[in-house]
Amino acid sequence: MMLVDQPYVPPAMPATGPAEKESAPLGTAAREHVSLLSISGLTAGYGDVQVLWGVDLQVKAGAITCIVGSNGAGKSTLLRTISGMVRVNSGTINFAGRDLTGATPDAMLSAGVAHVPEGRRLFRGLSIRDNLLLGAYMRNDSRAEIEHDLEFIYSMFPILKEREKQDATTLSGGEQQMCAIGRGIMSRPQLLMIDELSLGLAPRAVEKLGEALLEINRAGLTILLVEQDVLTAFDLASQAFVVETGRVSLSGSTAELAEDPRIRQAYMGI
């Protein structure tokens, strides 16, 4: 079943190196072998407080990847560092074949990285429509193209269209998350990063959001998900990274990690 009647049209994947160039044009299966985002030895923090201690992480093009880990492990700091909001102390961030270490938030957004922050952070006093349009502020595209993408969001989440003139912060938690994800997609990203998809939401809302993300991923969007709930994360993602006190302690396919006793005991309560 197609949830959406207008396909998501992600920006073309730039070639990322000689090996990948040979396999172009890239279908979804081929693209999964290419790292869209590659992070190496990343350290970062706030002032004198170091939070990330040498993170290595790769996000395969076309895949859904998740980052799990306990409170305070540094997951949000990692996403903020990728999107240019937290300064890199050392290490590298490579995105779509370009070294973007130290790039500003606007430069990361223009390069194709969208960040849906923890807690949604919608703008009070602005309508749902205007919150969505803010996601497109860096684009130089025509009004018609932006309207097309707005209709795409509305076809994915019809409740947002029904309420489009309403203050976005009056929505329910699940609807606010739809709006925040929609705002991220309005930038036409190559990578959509979502910090805490399910936090504070009812199971039915999480299920609906998950279905929408799977649909848009199948249409070509690469997704990096930070998620407290390991079962939800592993349901959606094919690859996982476990972050503990600012380091990646385990990584692999979610199928493998779901069987790992360390994961089952620490994060699944099994």
Ligand X SMILES: Nc1ncnc2c1ncn2[C@@H]1O[C@H](COP(=O)(O)OP(=O)(O)OP(=O)(O)O)[C@@H](O)[C@H]1O
Contact footprint for ligand X (CB under 6 A)? 46, 49, 51, 69, 71-77, 118, 228
Both tokens of 105, joined, read: 């938030």
Which partner, ligand X, Mg ion, none, binds residue 29 by CB below 5 to 8 Å per kind? none
Shortest CB 70 distance to ligand X, Å = 7
Which partner, Mg ion, ligand X, none, binds residue 137 by CB below 5 to 8 Å per kind? none
Which partner, ligand X, Mg ion, none, binds residue 123 by CB below 5 to 8 Å per kind? none
Nearer to ligand X, 41 or 72 (CB): 72
Shortest CB 76 distance to ligand X, Å = 3
Both tokens of 259, joined, read: 């069987």
The maximal CA–CA distance of the chain, rounded, in angstroms, is: 52
Choose the stretch contacting Mg ion; rule: CB under 5 A; options: 3-11, 73-81, 206-214, 262-270. Answer: 73-81
Nearer to ligand X, 48 or 259 (CB): 48
157 DSSP 8-state letter: -
Quick check: 76 binds Mg ion (CB under 5 A)? yes
- Within 10 A of 5 (CB to CB), how many other CB atoms are there? 9
Which partner, Mg ion, ligand X, none, binds residue 16 by CB below 5 to 8 Å per kind? none
Nearer to Mg ion, 32 or 118 (CB): 118
Nearer to Mg ion, 38 or 77 (CB): 77
Nearer to ligand X, 75 or 208 (CB): 75
Which partner, Mg ion, ligand X, none, binds residue 164 by CB below 5 to 8 Å per kind? none
Both tokens of 24, joined, read: 């172009």
Shortest CB 93 distance to ligand X, Å = 16
Both tokens of 128, joined, read: 């749902």
As a whole number of Å, the CA-based R_g of the chain is 18
Instruction: For 231-270, give one letter per residue: b (16+ CB within 10 A) or e.
Output: ebbbbbbbbbbbbeebebebbeebeebbebeebeebbeee
- Where in the chain does DSSP place strands (E)? 35-46, 49-60, 64-68, 88-95, 98-99, 113-116, 191-195, 222-226, 239-244, 247-253
Nearer to ligand X, 73 or 150 (CB): 73
Both tokens of 81, joined, read: 């560092």
What are the residues binding Mg ion (CB under 5 A)?
Answer: 75-76, 118
